[in-house]
Structures are given as structure tokens and as C-alpha cells.
Amino acid sequence: MFQDNTLSEFTQKLASHEPVPGGGGAAAMVAAVGVALGSMVGEYTLGKKKYADVEDEIRALMEQAGKLRQQFLSFADRDAEAFLPLSKAYGLPKDDPDRDRVLEEALREAASVPLSLMESCRDGLRLMKGFREKGSKLMQSDALCGTYFLKAALQAASCNVYINTELMKDRERASETEEKAGALLSEGLELAAVIVGEN
């Protein structure tokens, strides 16, 4: 759906009155850009005598980054697929006996997608740490830019988790989801801080 759009098409839809894509889809695209920058660092590292001893590690990082980039692109569509049922659930009459159940199920799904996105952002930051430490020193600004993109996507995704858990009636499920999100956020932010030299 969105992952095959041009950047112009995607941002035009993002700026429109359509309910999707929204913040979740935008976060996924930003994360894809971030991890792609890691791959770029890898491309400029391979084949250089100076980095011959880390070539296998760089190749492994690039393979993982390529898979992760495709995951991020798919998240833009998954986010939209999760949001549309929630949008419809809000439109149900308040006296509909099924409204609470349908809304709760939709909120759970709407929170689970950005939670998974957060996990992938954390994984992307782990890869970026490798690119930053072992990649070409001439490409360090790209590694840093990728790190900041992934950090921003992680933080944005967390917003989408918390906005949905806040509305859940199943507080045990909500707390469990928030705990997972909090752990991913803390780990990701700590990783980003290490990569950019703040720690």
C-alpha cells in the first residue's frame, strides 16, 4: 500500500485529511531511512584495505540492515491496517452492545503494531552501533544521522503505544504493554546515547 509510494506520494497522503498514513506510518518510514544509512556506511567500508579485518562483520550487519529496512517499510502498511478498525470502532453508536468489546480489541492491535516497531527500532540501533564502531571513519556523519532517525522513530512509536494503552479498559494488559514499551524505549535511548557519544 504505502511502502510502494514515491516519497512525494507518501508525504502528500500524510498531509491530507485521510486517516492513514499517520504518525505510525511516518515513524516507520523514518526508521527505514535510518537503517538504510547504516547500509550506506557498510557499502563505503567494503573493499577498503583499512577495513579488511572487519569486512565479514560489515557484511553481516548489512544483511541484517537490509532485512530490517524491508520490515520498516511493511510497518507503514501494518500501522494503517491496525488503525482503520480502531477508527471504525470509534464510529460505532455508544449504545451498541458490542462497542466496548470491538473497541478494546482494536486498541490492543493498534498498540501492538507500534510496540513491534519499537522493537525493530531497538534492533536497528544495535546495528547502527556496529556500523559506527566498525564502519568507515569517512562515513561517521551518516552513521550518526541514521542513529538519530532511528531514535526519533523509536520515540514516535512509543507515543502511539501509550495513546492506545491509555484508553484500554483492561488495565492489566495495558500495564504489561506499557512496561514492554518502557523497557524498549530505555534500551533504545541508552544505545543511541552510546553511539553518539553522550554516554
Tens of pLDDT, residue by residue over 89-129, are 888 888 888 888 999 999 999 999 999 999 999 999 999 99
Residue 1, in any domain of the structure: no
The pLDDT of residue 96 is 86
Residue 2, in any domain of the structure: no
pTM summary value: 0.93
Query: The dihedral of CA 40, 62, 190, 194: what is its sign?
Result: negative
Cα gap 160→25, rounded to integer Å: 11
The answer on pLDDT for 2 being more than 80 is: no
Q: What is the CATH number of the domain that holds 102?
A: 1.20.120.680
The pLDDT of residue 51 is 96
Span 145-163, average pLDDT: 97
CB 21 within 8 A of CB 14: yes
For residue 27, CA distances in Å to 23, 24, 52, 150, 172 come to 6, 5, 35, 9, 27
The answer on pLDDT for 83 being more than 90 is: no
The answer on pLDDT for 147 being more than 80 is: yes
Residue 161, in any domain of the structure: yes
Domain hosting residue 142, numbered range: 7-196
Cell reading at 188: 533504545
Cell reading at 143: 552513521
Q: How many domains does the chain have?
A: 1
The pLDDT of residue 89 is 85
Cα gap 162→179, rounded to integer Å: 10
Among all chains, which residue has been given the C-alpha cell 510502494?
A: 4
The pLDDT of residue 107 is 94
Cα gap 117→39, rounded to integer Å: 19
Tens of pLDDT, residue by residue over 11-29, are 899 899 988 888 999 999 9
The answer on pLDDT for 46 being more than 70 is: yes
| Mean pLDDT taken over the chain | 94
Residue 174, in any domain of the structure: yes
Cα gap 114→27, rounded to integer Å: 9
Residue 192, in any domain of the structure: yes
The answer on pLDDT for 199 being more than 70 is: no
The pLDDT of residue 21 is 87
pLDDT top residue among 144 and 11: 144
